[in-house]
Structure 1
Amino acid sequence: MLRLLTVSELTAHIKNLFDNDPLLLNLWVKGEISNYKQAASGHLYFTLKDEGCAIKAVMFRSRGRRLLFEPEDGMAVRIRGYVTVYPRDGTYQLYAEEMEPEGTGALYLAFEQLKKKLEKEGLFDPRHKKKIPRLPRRIGIVTSPTGAVLRDMVKIIRRRFPGAEIIFVPVAVQGEGAPGEVVRGIQLLNRLNACDVIITGRGGGSLEELWAFNTEVVARSIFKSRIPVISAVGHETDYTIADFVADLRAPTPSAAAEMVVPVREEMARQVEMLHNRLCRAVGEKIRGYRHRLDLLTRSRVTSSPVEVLCGSRSQVVDELARRLGVTMERCLEQGKNRLAVLTGRLQALSPLATLARGYSICSLVDTGEIIRTATGVSSGDEVQVELYRGRIFCRVTESCPE
């Protein structure tokens, strides 16, 4: 007789088969990512597929945060993990513990992804590059206290410019905690305003060994630094994200030490050359001014100023005064003539001239309304008559309209 199972019992039985299959407990699977999303919890959910089939997959946050690159739809990957049943939905899925890009290294892919991201944000834009001081008084160095890099940089700086002060911040430049230490070193020098320029970097090594300078936190700390930063990582052929963000890239740490300060002897020779050029320029100026002074002292203006002022110059002044007087008289005459014309026009338009010829203006006393016709008044109205000289008041006894 067949046994009747519940859904939970059936699912538990299938899950037990999956969990006891050695092949499914630890395997590598390759395929293409689709429907990728990262939940608020940090878990990664996606589908892994090939030409014929697809399987749901999940990578928990504890595993996902170890990824050096960002998974995305369409990316071909290899995944190590295990397959089991998810009891709630009764579906089987792949639980990813490791993920590698197919056909290219994870570190190289992470490098290219971060480079593209920061370049899009403008962190590589030359407009943001700060100028490296020509003669820094204090130089900050953020690197490892062990190895030859620090000794070489200090030796070169001391030889080229003994007066420069070196502020050293020891940090780890390799390993899991290295990016955080490099960031804290750069931030410390900025917070204390301890130097005029910062050199950060390390000696050569593999891509894994240089990885601290390919991280986003180090790149952003360099970009946010108020103090100019020189990146000096690895050999001349090594390029890191820090090189692109820094205000100046040095091919090697030793080259950074040579770039940050000039040779004191060369500076002294330049100062001496500038001093000589300045002396020659000043001498030429003095000779030029002396020549002009000699010419002035020999001129009539300086040798006989009274003669110049009382001679031809006084005649010129007299002529100018005469011409000014004539011009003023002409202007006054023109003004008088124009005033007479305007006065005549105004007089012709004046109502007083009309009244002087025997006319008058009549208006009602009560309202002040001008009376133009006989129909404008009635018997008994009081009327004011305006004459050329004075006015009279009348009472209407009779009006005779036309």
Structure 2
Amino acid sequence: MAQDPIPGWPRSAEHAPRVLRVAELNRVARFVMEDQFRDVWVEGELADVSRPASGHVYFTLCDAEMPAQVRGVMYRNDATRARARLENGARVRLRCGLTIYEARGTFQLVARVALPAGEGDRAAEVARLKQKLASEGLFDPTRKRKLPRVPRVVGIVTSRDGAAIHDVVRVASARMGVRLVLAHCQVQGPDAPLSIVRALRGIQQVPELDVVIVARGGGAAEDLSAYDDERVARAVAACRVPTVSGVGHEVDVTIVDLVADVRAATPSNAAEIVVPDAVQLRAELEGLERALARALDQRVQRERLRIERLLRRIHDPRRRIAAPRQALAALHASLERSIARRLGDAHRAIDRLRARLAVHEPRARLSRDRDRLIALEDRLVRAMRARLDDTRRQIVDHDRRVRALGPAMVRTPRERLARLVGTLDALSPLGILARGYAIALHQPTGAALVRARDAAPGDRVSIRVHEGTIETVVERVRDEEGS
């Protein structure tokens, strides 16, 4: 039987037209819709948003460019996790499935995920840019430059109308009087990246520039997108002086934060990092001045004492040389005598060694040892031959004695053994059985029956004869009196 092409599609008789009820038509349409569009992304603008007591969110999703709309619902559990604002006018990107509400036959969306429109694309683009710049080494800590300890001129790249410039000026002025140079730029909007790049290039034209602060106040992720731009990141990395990034709040991390030499949590924190505290710096300078003065006094005292000791040691150079010269002459004479004595001892030692060597000349010693070895070998051969002759004679004598005494030694034990065997045969029970006697054994104990009264009718008895055993049962017991 053929299967229905669509679940819920009604069957009909052969050649009969298919007539559907409305509910059947809506059900078939729902099956097709849910099967073909289980997981799709749809982007549009929210309208007619309502939140009943159930917690579900009902809305209409409108096309921003063409007159088209579709109804939709997001159930409570998914709505609590939505990252987009579910309100009228919000542009959102929904991950949903398509279905048809059978009761009314209306087509609608069932949304599971709600993101602000474009957020996923922007996050993916930022992630790809981070990976690209990291592979080029722009995030490498080894390329980070140290900030000047006491900068003379501090450049600020930000908007002159924003709160960031006021925070930086306020903090820097309170800490130390340094020269601040502002490079105005747009910090938000589509033209902001190019404006920031131009401001960075312009600020580097200041000859006395020591450090640059790239600053912007806090805002939403979309507001900080200019600082995730590749052009801005490369301009910060190429800056000829060290850079400090003070963009957004502490929780905001942009690509410029990663490329800059130092990242500050806020614009105010950037000013604190760049501009030292004058009071603290003055205290450090005073401490260093006191330490330098003490070190200088100690060095002067040491050098004065060293000069005084050197002055006391300076005398007439000729007197200084006379004594070493006499000592050198004495050492020279003593060295000559010592060398002559050592040479004489060496010659005498060589003569003694030559005499000893003549006595122990290797060829003569080998000849003497060879003669001695031949004599010892001859003595050993004669001794071995004599020992073999004695041993051979002893063996012959022992053999003759054994042959003479052997038969007599064996005859007496053999005769005794024969007598013992005869006695044993005479006393053996087997010999008695061979003469016609038998032994009766009571079963099952195996005890020998000595008297007739020890057995009773019905007892089992084994009778051992000369060559075997007879098993029997007692029928009657009769003693010697015949009873």
1:169-180 equivalence runs, <5 A: 169-180=183-194
Q: For residue 123 of structure 2, what is the aligned residue in structure 1?
A: 108
Conserved in 1, the CA contact under 8 Å of 2:157 and 2:200? yes
In structure 1, what is the equivalent of residue 143 of structure 2? 128
Pick one of 246, 251, 257 that aligns with 2:271. 257
Report if aligned partners of 1:107, 1:208 keep a CA contact under 8 Å in 2: no
Alignment correspondent of 2:326: 315
- The one-letter code of the counterpart of 1:210 is L
TM-score, normalised by the number of residues in structure 2: 0.44
Cα-to-partner distance string for 1:186-245 (whole Å, 9 max, x where unaligned): 111224546111111200000000111011111111111112111110111110000000
The amino acid across from 2:160 in the alignment is: P
Does structure 1 retain, via aligned residues, the 8 Å contact 2:152–2:208?
Answer: no
Matched, 1:231 2:245: yes
For 2:248 and 2:137, the matched residues in 1 are separated by 25
The 3 A distance-change label for structure 1 pair 286 and 157 is same
The SS at the match of 1:217 is helix
Q: Is the 8 A contact 2:211 2:241 kept in 1?
A: yes
In 1, are the aligned partners of 2:194 and 2:231 still within 8 Å (CA)? yes
Alignment partner of 2:223: what SS?
coil
Counterparts in 2 of 1:184 and 1:102: CA distance versus 1, 3 Å: closer
Helix, strand or coil: the match of 1:169? strand
Aligned to 2:156: 141
Higher helix content, 1 or 2: 2
Point out the more displaced range, 209-218 or 126-135: 126-135
In the alignment, residue 309 of structure 1 is paired with which amino acid? I
1:161-240 alignment to 2 at 5 Å?
A: 161-162=176-177, 164-193=178-207, 195-240=209-254
**Structure 2 unaligned blocks of 5 or more:** 1-36, 42-92, 96-114, 338-483
SS at match of 1:227: coil
Specify which of 278, 282, 295 is matched with residue 268 of structure 1.
Answer: 282
What TM-score comes out, normalization by structure 1 length? 0.52
Q: Give the direction of change, closer, same or farther, for the CA distance of 1:127–1:176 in structure 2 (3 Å limit).
A: same
Distance 2:332 2:199 in 1: 83
Q: Is the 8 A contact 1:167 1:194 kept in 2?
A: no
Give the conservation status (yes or no) of the 8 Å contact 2:218–2:248: yes
CA contact (8 A) 1:29 1:78 kept: no
Greater shift after overlay, 139-148 or 126-135?
A: 126-135
Whether the 8 Å contact between 1:198 and 1:228 is mirrored in structure 2 is yes
Tell me the equivalent position of 1:285.
Answer: 299
SS, match of residue 209 in structure 2: coil
Q: Which runs of 4+ in 1 moved over 6 A?
A: 100-104, 320-326
Instruction: Mark the CA change 1:117 to 1:101 in structure 2 (over 3 Å): closer, same or farther.
Output: farther
Percent identity, please. Answer: 38
* Distance in 2 between residues matched to 1:108 and 1:194, nearest whole Å: 39
Q: Which residue does 1:160 correspond to in 2?
A: 175
Q: Which amino acid aligns with 1:160?
A: R
Alignment partner, residue 344 of structure 1: none
In the TM superposition, what are the counterparts of 1:2-401 in structure 2 within 5 Å? 105-162=120-177, 164-193=178-207, 195-298=209-312, 301-303=313-315, 306-310=318-322, 312-319=323-330
SS of corresponding position for 1:141: strand
2:48 matched to which residue of 1?
none
Q: Which moved more, 1:121-130 or 1:228-237?
A: 121-130
TM-aligned CA distance change 1:304 to 1:319, over 3 Å: same
1:290 and 1:196 map into 2 onto residues whose CA distance is 44
**What is the SS of the residue equivalent to 1:196?**
strand
Contact map agreement 1:212 1:218 (CA 8 A) in 2: yes
Contact 1:140–1:194 at 8 Å: present in 2 too?
A: no
Structure 2 counterpart SS, 1:142: strand
Match for 1:199: what amino acid?
Answer: I
Give the Å deviation of 1:31. 5.4
Question: Unaligned stretches of 5+ in structure 1?
Answer: 1-27, 33-76, 80-99, 327-402
Aligned length: 234
* Per-residue CA distance 1:153-174 (angstroms, 9 max, x = gap): 1121122111x11111111100
Q: Which has the larger radius of gyration?
A: 2
Q: Which has the higher contact order (CA 8 A, sep 6+)?
A: 1
Per-residue deviation, residues 32-60 of structure 1 (Å, max 9, x unmatched): 9xxxxxxxxxxxxxxxxxxxxxxxxxxxx
Show CA shifts across 1:346-380 (max 9, x none): xxxxxxxxxxxxxxxxxxxxxxxxxxxxxxxxxxx
2:289 and 2:212 map into 1 onto residues whose CA distance is 32
Deviation at 1:304, TM superposition (A): 6.0
| Counterpart amino acid of residue 148 in structure 1 | A
